[in-house]
Chains A and B, each alone.
Chain A
Amino acid sequence: MAYLIFTLSLLLIYVGLALALHIQFGLLGIANFGVVGFWGLGMYAMGVLQVQLDMSFVDALFLVLVLSIAVSWLMGWLVLRLDPQATLCATIAFAAIVSLLVVTEKWATMGVVGLGTIRYPFRIGGGTEYLYFAFLLAVVVGLQILVLRLHRSPTGKLLQAIRDNEELCASLGKNTFQVKMFWFVIASVVMCLLGALSAPLNQFLTPNMIVPSVTFAVWIALILGGKGHSLGAVVGVFVTFGLFDILIETYAPVSPELAVVVPNMKLFLYGLLLMAVLIYRPTGLLAPTTPPEHVWAEIRSAGIAAGRGAMTLFQNGKNAIQNPNTNQPADSTAAQENDGAADGKS
């Protein structure tokens, strides 16, 4: 049960990160691929302040806030005027710098040895983890409410307009850079603070927590759930993290040999899912216009479709193995014809 509450808390952290990314990418179109950089910065700052300087949780959190505003502002200033591809590369580079500095600055972070122990902000016997979970839940619910309101508010419409056509927006007298900067900083600070809040969860910090697969997990959740829908982030995290890290890793009867394979299998399937979504359903599970009452139906039908697709693939694979020559030629000529038609059009 203690492990489950830890995983559920981690799930909430991921929901929070996906919501922050939703503000940046879903609403503003800023491709921040340095999610783990902001998150890791917040987490390690919290750890260093508590362990090395013996600060209280609240003092440390306040300093993390100040630090994260400065760093986010600097990053915003550096990347927000760039072409989207350049923004993406620059933010990846930022995350790489953070993870390298965590290794090199041993005097503060203890390097690969690891940094610990980080305490919970309060301690009430056996209920600490539960109370902390409730606290995280409140934070994430607050964030989700912010995103829901943002989608329908005047400022949210402005953000969408900037994402759609920044130059047109500026020609109507909107200070697009300032708006982008404000919300980029807000969302990045949220990522840093979520990092600070995950420090007590992890208790012991090591540099291999700051790896690109964290960024990747948040991105796949957002893209899969639906980058344009206010509930996309939550749905995406539940479908990815919830399914793998909670249902499979906690409940599925997996033998010890297989258990080693599961995390790798997970990232492999995440990659596959991300590719399939981007190519075949770019809006994700929830299209931007999906009304709230259809959210569940949408998820269910997608689940059924994915199941059918997997079954078909499996059947085809089995057929191909059993009689390798039957449908191969027909298929490939059809594909070539299709290619030819598309070539002609483009």
Chain B
Amino acid sequence: MKLSATNLTKSYTGHPVLDIQNASFGGHGIEGLIGPNGAGKSTLLGCLTRRIQATTGDVRLDGDDGVPTSLMGYQSYEVARMGLVKTNQRIQNFDSLTIRDSLRMAATPSDKQDWRSVWTLAPIDDALEAEIATLLARFPFSDPDGYAMSGGEKKLLDILRCVIVKPKLFLMDEPTAGLPDEITQDVMKLVREKVDAGEMTVMIIEHDLDLIWKNCSYVHFLSEGSILFEGKPDAVKKNRVVAEKYMGV
């Protein structure tokens, strides 16, 4: 799934923080979005997922039929249903749901979750239960039928919750922050499998550049609210602007 932004700007009390002329995301398997702190990465993601109302501009989604739809008329939950799902940089959790319930809640489609479901108690979908079981077998939670306790567990759960809703374009906001190295590796392996199977495309926002160079086939460099450079990792690595503004000094 591809997303294109044109003339997308956001300013807070007259102070511009984002100004994207023309950019498209999600066309290259796994992409990276890098840039110094305060470059506007989180604002960009917020505007793409409609969590933040952009000041001007348009975000269009190229559907499977090739017809672009503007996202500007939709709310954030509708955008998520279209397949644009984002993990959270800061820890977000449903504290009163167990790990298994949390995954179940996220993945159950809304027509099986409305008032009629009051009369259905058992797990409603065997395929879904099997999927949850595989995920939970693959990742080490101390007790999958208990609550996510540590920050690491909550962060991992946040990522898995997004994976299980089957995004088409999966935005990962700093997946390494708060996760142990080997778990990050496992998460990236899972994501790569899904990408290779053609189920989704990914964009990763990261400060850990090793992870970007290792996984991404295309990288956007965002600084001072605009995309200053984009291309293959090697080209980005060698680019003078990127070196100056981000890696060099």
Q: Which residues of A contact B (CB under 8 A)?
A: 146, 149-150, 152-158, 160-161, 163-165, 167-176, 179, 182-183, 186, 228, 288
State whether A161 touches B112 (Cβ < 8 A). Answer: no
Q: Interface digits, B177-201 against A, CB 8 Å rule (1 contact, 0 not)?
A: 0000000000000000000000000
Query: Which B76-129 residues have a C-beta within 8 angstroms of A?
Result: 76-78, 80-81, 85-86, 88, 92-97, 101-102, 104-106, 108, 110, 112-115, 117-121, 124
Between A and B, 15 residue pairs with Cβ closer than 8 Å are A153-B117, A154-B117, A155-B113, A155-B118, A156-B118, A158-B105, A158-B113, A161-B97, A168-B88, A171-B88, A172-B161, A172-B165, A174-B113, A176-B77, A288-B96
**Count of CB-CB pairs between chains A and B under 8 Å:** 94
Contact A173 to B80, CB < 8 A, known contacts A152-B121, A155-B113? yes
CB-nearest residue of chain B to A174: B77
State whether A154 touches B97 (Cβ < 8 A). Answer: no
* Number of interface residues, chain B, beta carbon within 8 A: 37
Known: A164-B93, A168-B92, A228-B96. 16 other contacts (CB 8 A): A146-B118, A153-B117, A153-B121, A155-B117, A156-B118, A161-B94, A161-B97, A164-B97, A165-B92, A168-B88, A168-B94, A169-B94, A171-B49, A171-B76, A171-B77, A171-B80
Query: Does B51 make an interface contact (CB < 8 A)?
Result: yes
Q: Is the interface of A mostly helix, strand, loop or mixed?
A: helix
Q: How far is the CA of A165 from the CA of B121 in the complex (A)?
A: 23
Q: How far is the CA of A216 from the CA of B176 in the complex (A)?
A: 48
Residues of chain A within 8 A (CB-CB) of B108 are 154, 158
State whether A170 touches B121 (Cβ < 8 A). Answer: no
Q: How far is the CA of A179 from the CA of B106 in the complex (A)?
A: 14
Query: Does B162 make an interface contact (CB < 8 A)?
Result: yes
Contact A160 to B113, CB < 8 A, known contacts A146-B118, A170-B77? no
Residues of chain A within 8 A (CB-CB) of B101 are 157
Residues of chain A within 8 A (CB-CB) of B80 are 170-173
